[in-house]
């Protein structure tokens, strides 16, 4: 938004000219113009109140992509300030109380108006997770997923919550204005009604039905699109986001790099970086980064999600209550729900788990990440702990998320920890491993199933759970230590120095996932304290503190790895010797190779004869294989399979190289 | 060998909840006996318990029928 013009009154000659071009004004002295104003470009315009007009020279690109002459035609302008190089044409009713930036193009609109004391969606109370309230978040333009997560979820820290509420209120108050903004280079076309909406630089609003009380954040490097048939009320939409194709957005915040469309309906919900929502419905959800729902009949309600993929017909219910909707669900990062899966809240699903079937019992499987969770015919929850650790899906998801970050601009509000294996998730695996071992020790062999936090496990599968988790824990810890040793060898740093704690790092056994950002619980405790003591006194300082925590992730992770290594292997990294390094390098080679080979076996399932059922339509048995090969390719030439095989080879080479280097050092 | 076959069939029958008489040496777990994907994991776990062995998962998950299961298990005994 520029428009830093100095405006001066029209000359008598200019007034006469534009009068002859069908223009009228309640008070011509209130119509002022910038240097270079061309009266020949103003036709059939009614001016009311104070109207300031820029140079109107040249052409501007319209929403449809055509270059059109700058100027004002067939419009009523009330208390508006227009920058240079603007085009306004065919305004059905009026544009009132707006600043229009340089190079903006507004065509074929019904009404654009700002009412007194508008806040443009800021301060809208969104009833997240609970339609009946209690976790309301008042949204504001600069809100990050971390801020929203803490405000929504940590109500057990009332003093902290009061402060966050005050920060948010200050943000909403600062957005308050009698005048709205249409940013520089913005294109607004074929829109019925825009009331109390700020539109950022370079945004395109084309074909929307009605936009009321909202902000469309947009920048030159991350332009935002609001498209056909969109109805949005009480909203904020982030930079680089597309809301299109008849989407309905009400009392919702849609963050950066999101896509919402194909008649999706969102109410009382928060969506953060890179979410995708098509066809279905969201009601009172917290959609953390990379929450994805693509299909009709999918209702996400009263739940917390992130890095999530909803299968078609996924549904939950929060209605088993008498005094209002109290039930909530938590699907921790990386979960998937299969087609027509249903969960009766409250439930808690551990990270990277898959949920299938209709679940009508409450369960809490937070400490069993990577689990396969399937409903029995009677709605009981049956779990296979850790089964998804070595599946193709988990590995592919982990690789794809960082490459699919659609946030194009420099400003990225949400901090995202992408690691699949992290102290938070591996810590849960350690908890799960210990819990299952305890169950094995205390369960007689005559028992068929055992209950674990509301879910049931076939007793014979317990041993497998221990093996899966042990494999994941070992691989993670060994990889972290070995890669540190590799760096030390390369840089000529001594082992004891390389394996020492990093000064300033923070250690907690427990790690937390705050809206996609993982951190040790101690960092969060410090943040609470700094906010509660007013050391952090506004949103900017709060976000800066979260940035600092984000930067410290690797050091904090190492502090955790050191302690976990001691606990798991009963060995102290402070007393580590070169011969120990060789041993753990060999162990990593064994464990990680086995892990990668399990993934290859899982990939192989997608090429077996059962998978080929459905191929070779109208052909012979030979045609089945030929058709499958033509459509899906072959195992040996599959890109993912080749990558995994290469990873096994690379690991061998890497470990051999390290062992040689260690021998030289010795 | 025959003892192993009978014990394998007993485990398969219990795990997949089918009659032992339906299980032939050449029966494939998925196509012929209707095992779901998750039941292959359960079968491996049940074989391990029945024979008190730890099976190499890479190989075990590749076993598709009763006959190869028997051969595989006998290698681990």
| Over residues A194-214, mean pLDDT | 98
Helix axes B66-76, B2-16, angle to 10 degrees: 120
Predicted TM-score of the model (pTM): 0.95
Q: Which helix (H) or strand (E) holds A110?
A: strand A105-113
Q: Do B37 and A464 touch (CB under 8 A)?
A: no
Q: Nearest CA of chain A to the CA of B61: how many Å?
A: 8
Among the partner-chain residues B44, B46, B58, the one whose CB lies closest to the CB of A598 is: B58
8 A C-beta contact, residue A38 and residue A18: no
Q: Do B49 and A445 touch (CB under 8 A)?
A: yes
Strand partners, A61: A67
Given a cut of 80, whether residue B9 has pLDDT beyond it is yes
Supply angle C-alpha A226, A232, A235, rounded to 5: 95
What residues have CB less than 8 Å from A174, skipping those under 6 apart?
none
Cis peptide before A375 (omega within 30 of 0): no
Q: What is the pLDDT of residue A396?
A: 84
Helix axes A462-491, A423-441, angle to 10 degrees: 140
8 A C-beta contact, residue A144 and residue A133: no
**Predicted confidence (pLDDT) per residue in A73-122, tens digit:** 999 999 999 999 999 999 999 999 999 999 999 999 999 999 999 999 99
Given a cut of 80, whether residue A664 has pLDDT beyond it is no
| Over residues A438-467, mean pLDDT | 95
Q: Which helix (H) or strand (E) holds A181?
A: strand A180-182
Q: What is the pLDDT of residue A320?
A: 61
Q: What is the pLDDT of residue A597?
A: 86
8 A C-beta contact, residue A237 and residue A257: no
| Over residues A315-324, mean pLDDT | 75
Which residue of chain A has the CA closest to B64? A608
Q: Nearest CA of chain A to the CA of B13: how many Å?
A: 15
Helix axes A553-569, A539-551, angle to 10 degrees: 50
Range with the lowest mean pLDDT among A435-449, A463-477, A603-617?
A: A603-617
- For chain B, domains (ranges, CATH) are 2-76 (1.10.1200.10)
8 A C-beta contact, residue A151 and residue A129: no
At residue A397 the predicted structure's pLDDT band, cuts being 50, 70 and 90, is confident
Q: Which helix (H) or strand (E) holds A451?
A: strand A449-452
Range with the lowest mean pLDDT among A225-239, A245-259, A638-652?
A: A638-652
* ipTM here: 0.90
Given a cut of 60, whether residue B1 has pLDDT beyond it is no
Q: Which of A517, A539, A498, A652 lies closest to A586 in space, CA to CA?
A: A652
At residue B54 the predicted structure's pLDDT band, cuts being 50, 70 and 90, is confident
Q: Do B45 and A605 touch (CB under 8 A)?
A: no
8 A C-beta contact, residue A527 and residue A543: no
User: Would you tell me how many other CB atoms lie within 10 Å of the CB of residue A530?
Assistant: 17
Residue found by looking up tokens 């907690």 in the block: A508
Q: Nearest CA of chain B to the CA of A597: how many Å?
A: 7
Q: Do A461 and B57 touch (CB under 8 A)?
A: no
Range with the lowest mean pLDDT among A105-114, A159-168, B33-42?
A: B33-42
Q: Do A461 and B62 touch (CB under 8 A)?
A: no
Given a cut of 90, whether residue A178 has pLDDT beyond it is yes
Q: What is the pLDDT of residue A2?
A: 58
At residue A321 the predicted structure's pLDDT band, cuts being 50, 70 and 90, is low
Q: Which of A544, A541, A545, A554 lies closest to A523 in space, CA to CA?
A: A545
Name every chain A residue with its beta carbon within 8 A of the beta carbon of B10.
none
Q: Do B41 and A461 touch (CB under 8 A)?
A: yes
Q: What are phi and psi of A613, to 5 degrees?
A: -60, 130
**Predicted confidence (pLDDT) per residue in A61-76, tens digit:** 999 999 999 999 999 9
Q: What is the pLDDT of residue A394?
A: 84
At residue A1 the predicted structure's pLDDT band, cuts being 50, 70 and 90, is low
Alpha carbon distances (Å) from A432 to A74, A148, A365, A437: 69, 29, 9, 9
Name the interface residues of A facing B (CB cutoff 8 Å).
372, 374, 384, 387, 445, 458, 460-461, 463-464, 467, 594, 597-598, 601, 604-605, 609-610
Q: Do B37 and A605 touch (CB under 8 A)?
A: yes
Supply angle C-alpha B43, A392, A652, rounded to 5: 100
| Over residues A175-199, mean pLDDT | 98
| Over residues A513-539, mean pLDDT | 98
**Predicted confidence (pLDDT) per residue in A616-628, tens digit:** 999 998 999 999 9
Q: Do A458 and B45 touch (CB under 8 A)?
A: yes
| Over residues B44-55, mean pLDDT | 90
Q: Do B41 and A384 touch (CB under 8 A)?
A: yes
At residue A666 the predicted structure's pLDDT band, cuts being 50, 70 and 90, is low
Instruction: Indicate which of A460, A598, A604 best probes the interface with B, i.e. most B CBs within 10 Å of its own CB.
Output: A460
Q: Checking phi first, is residue B39 left (phi over 0); if not, alpha (psi -120 to 50) or beta?
A: alpha
Q: What is the pLDDT of residue A47?
A: 98
Q: What is the mean pLDDT of chain A?
A: 94
What residues have CB less than 8 Å from A147, skipping those under 6 apart?
A164, A167, A168, A515, A539, A542, A543
Residue with the larger pLDDT of the pair A1 and A345: A345
Given a cut of 80, whether residue A53 has pLDDT beyond it is yes
Which residue of chain B has the CA closest to A356? B38
Residue found by looking up tokens 């079968």 in the block: B43
Tokens of B46: 């049940």
8 A C-beta contact, residue A353 and residue A388: yes
| Over residues A143-148, mean pLDDT | 98
Q: What is the pLDDT of residue A608?
A: 83
């Amino acid at each position: 938004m520029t428009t830093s013009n100095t405006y001066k009154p029209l000359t008598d000659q200019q007034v006469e000219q534009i009068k002859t071009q069908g223009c009228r004004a309640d008070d011509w002295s209130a119509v002022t113009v910038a240097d270079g104003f061309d009266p020949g470009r103003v036709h059939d315009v009614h001016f009311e109140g104070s109207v300031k007009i820029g140079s109107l020279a040249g052409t501007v690109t319209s929403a449809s992509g055509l270059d059109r002459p700058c100027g004002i035609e067939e419009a009523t302008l009330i208390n508006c300030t227009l920058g240079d190089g603007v085009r306004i044409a065919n305004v059905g009713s009026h544009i009132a109380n707006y600043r229009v930036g340089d190079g903006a193009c507004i065509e074929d609109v019904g009404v654009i108006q700002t009412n007194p004391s508008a806040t443009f969606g800021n301060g809208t109370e969104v009833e997240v997770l609970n339609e009946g309230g209690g976790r309301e978040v008042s949204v504001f333009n600069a809100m990050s997923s971390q801020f929203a997560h803490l405000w929504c979820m940590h109500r057990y820290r009332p003093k902290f919550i009061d402060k966050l509420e005050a920060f948010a209120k200050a943000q909403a108050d600062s957005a308050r204005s009698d005048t709205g903004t249409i940013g520089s280079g913005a294109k607004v076309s074929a829109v019925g009604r825009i009331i109390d909406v700020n539109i950022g630089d370079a945004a395109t609003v084309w074909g929307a039905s009605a936009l009321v009380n909202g902000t469309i954040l947009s920048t030159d490097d991350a332009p935002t699109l609001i498209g056909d048939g969109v109805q949005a009320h009480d909203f904020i939409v982030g930079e680089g986001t597309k809301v299109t194709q008849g989407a309905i957005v009400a009392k919702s915040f849609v963050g950066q790099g999101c896509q919402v469309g194909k008649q999706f309906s969102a109410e009382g919900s928060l969506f953060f970086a890179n979410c995708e929502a098509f066809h279905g419905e969201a009601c009172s959800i917290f959609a953390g980064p990379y929450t994805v729902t693509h299909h009709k009949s999918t209702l996400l309600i009263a739940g917390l999600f992130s890095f999530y993929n909803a299968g078609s017909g996924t549904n939950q219910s929060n209605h088993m209550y008498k005094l209002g909707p109290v039930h909530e669900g938590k699907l921790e990062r990386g979960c998937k729900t299969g087609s027509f899966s249903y969960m009766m809240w409250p439930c808690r699903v551990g990270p990277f788990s898959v949920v299938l079937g209709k679940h009508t019992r409450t369960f809490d499987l937070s400490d069993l990440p990577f689990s396969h969770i399937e409903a029995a015919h009677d709605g009981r929850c049956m779990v296979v702990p850790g089964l998804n650790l070595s599946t193709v899906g988990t590995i592919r998801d982990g690789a794809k998320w960082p490459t699919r970050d659609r946030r194009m601009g420099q400003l990225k509000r949400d901090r995202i920890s992408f690691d699949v294996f992290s102290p938070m998730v591996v810590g849960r695996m350690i908890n799960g491993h210990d819990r299952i071992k305890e169950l094995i020790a205390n369960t007689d062999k005559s028992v068929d199933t055992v209950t674990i936090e509301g879910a049931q496990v076939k007793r014979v599968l317990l041993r497998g759970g221990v093996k899966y988790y042990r494999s994941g824990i070992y691989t993670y810890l060994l990889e972290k230590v070995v890669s540190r040793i590799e760096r030390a060898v390369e840089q000529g740093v001594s082992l004891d120095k390389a394996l020492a704690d990093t000064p300033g790092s923070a250690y907690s056994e427990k790690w937390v996932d705050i809206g996609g950002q993982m951190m040790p619980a101690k960092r969060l405790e410090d943040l609470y304290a700094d906010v509660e003591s007013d050391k952090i006194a506004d949103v900017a300082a709060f976000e800066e503190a979260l940035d600092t925590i984000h930067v410290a992730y690797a050091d904090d992770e190492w502090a955790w790895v050191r302690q976990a290594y001691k606990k798991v292997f009963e060995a102290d990294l402070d007393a580590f010797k070169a011969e120990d390094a060789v041993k753990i390098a060999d162990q990593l080679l064994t464990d990680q190779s086995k892990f990668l080979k399990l993934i290859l076996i899982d990939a192989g399932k997608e090429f077996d004869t059962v998978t080929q059922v459905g191929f070779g339509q109208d052909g012979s048995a030979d045609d089945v294989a030929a058709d499958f090969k033509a459509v899906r390719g072959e195992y040996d030439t599959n890109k993912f399979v080749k990558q995994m095989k290469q990873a096994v080879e690379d690991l061998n080479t890497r470990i051999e190289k390290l062992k040689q280097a260690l021998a030289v050092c010795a | 060998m025959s003892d192993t076959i009978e014990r394998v069939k007993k485990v398969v029958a219990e795990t997949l909840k089918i009659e032992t008489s339906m299980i032939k040496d050449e029966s494939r777990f998925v196509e012929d006996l209707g095992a779901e994907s998750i039941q292959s994991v359960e079968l491996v776990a049940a074989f391990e318990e029945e024979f008190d062995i730890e099976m190499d998962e890479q190989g075990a998950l590749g076993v598709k029928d009763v006959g190869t299961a028997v051969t595989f298990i006998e290698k681990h005994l």
